[in-house]
Amino acid sequence: MSESLHLFENTEYAGVSLEVAKSAIIMTHGRGDNADKMKSLVQELIIPDHTAIVYPIATNNTWYPKGFMEDWSENQPWLDSALENLAIIIRHLNEKGISNDKIFLLGFSQGACLNLEYASRNAQKYAGIAILSGGLIGPYIENSNYSGDFEGTEIFIGCSNIDHHIPEKRLHESEEMVAPMGAKVEKRVYPGMDHIICEDEIQKVNEMLKSI
C-alpha cells in the first residue's frame, strides 16, 4: 500500500490493553480531525472497564477527498484504503481474542459514513453501531455492495434534518438498506441541529454501551 494512503500503524489505543480487553470500541473520526474530537467524546461516554478504545487515524486527516454522495470513483483509491484499514483493525482485534460481537463501532460525519459502509458490506453481529451524522456511501444505494446478516445488531442513526453534509433522505435510505439485513435500527432526526454530536446522542450511545 502506498504511504500516501491510510496506515494501520497510525491507529491509536486507549482504555484497557488489547492483551486483557474483553471488548473494544472503534471510534472513527470525521474529515479534518486527527481523532481529537473522538478523544474528547470519550470523556462523556461510560466505557465498560474491560473495553479497549481504538482510534483509527486518517492520512492527512481525511478518509476520502470528496463528498460521501459523489460517485464512488471520485473517492478512490482513498475509500477502498479506508475500508481496508478498518478491516485490518478488526482482524487485529479478532486475533487478540475480541470477536465482532464484542466490537462497538462509533463514528462521526465522514467516520460515521465509513463505519456504516464497512459494517454493511460485512454484515454480522456487532456489539452495536452508532452512526452520528452519517449514512451509506455513494450517489445512490447500490444493493449489490452489501451482504451478510447483522443478527439483531442495534444500529443508531442520529443526524440533523438540515445537515449541510448529510441529506435527511440518505438517513432513511440507509435505514431501509440495513434493517432488512437483520439490524435493529433506531433513527433520530434532530430539527435545526448543527453538524455536531448532541447530548441526546451521547445518552443514547451510553445506553448502547451497557450491552457490551
Q: Do residues 127 and 152 lie in contact, with contact meaning Cβ atoms separated by under 8 Å? A: no
Rounded-to-5 percentages of helix, strand, coil across the chain = 35, 20, 45
Domains parsed from the chain with CATH numbers? 8-209 (3.40.50.1820)
Q: Do residues 135 and 108 lie in contact, with contact meaning Cβ atoms separated by under 8 Å? A: no
pLDDT of amino acid 3:
47
Q: How much is the average pLDDT of 97-115?
A: 98
CA 178, 101, 80, 113 dihedral sign is positive
Q: How much is the average pLDDT of 92-101?
A: 98
Work out the mean pLDDT of the chain and round it to a whole number: 96
List the end-to-end C-alpha distance of the chain, in Å, as a whole number.
Answer: 34
Radius of gyration of the chain (CA): 16
* Cell output for 184: 435493529
pLDDT band at 8 (very low <50, low <70, confident <90, very high): very high
Is the pLDDT at 92 greater than 60, yes or no?
yes
Q: Coil, helix or strand for 189?
A: strand
Going by C-alpha positions, the residue among 60, 89, 92, 141 that lies closest to residue 105 is 89
pLDDT of amino acid 15:
96
Q: Coil, helix or strand for 151?
A: coil
- In this prediction, what percent of the chain has a pLDDT beyond 70? 98
Instruction: For residue range 51-70, list pLDDT tens digits in order.
Output: 999 999 999 999 999 999 99
Phi, psi of 129 (to 5 degrees): -135, 120
102 Cβ contact list (under 8 Å, min separation 6): 22, 23, 24, 127, 212
Is the pLDDT at 212 greater than 90, yes or no?
no
Q: Coil, helix or strand for 29?
A: coil
pLDDT band at 1 (very low <50, low <70, confident <90, very high): very low
Q: How much is the average pLDDT of 166-184?
A: 98
Instruction: For residue range 179-211, list pLDDT tens digits in order.
Output: 999 999 999 999 999 999 999 999 999 999 998
pLDDT of amino acid 95:
98
If phi > 0 it is left, if psi is from -120 to 50 it is alpha, else beta; for residue 18 that is alpha
Report pTM.
0.96
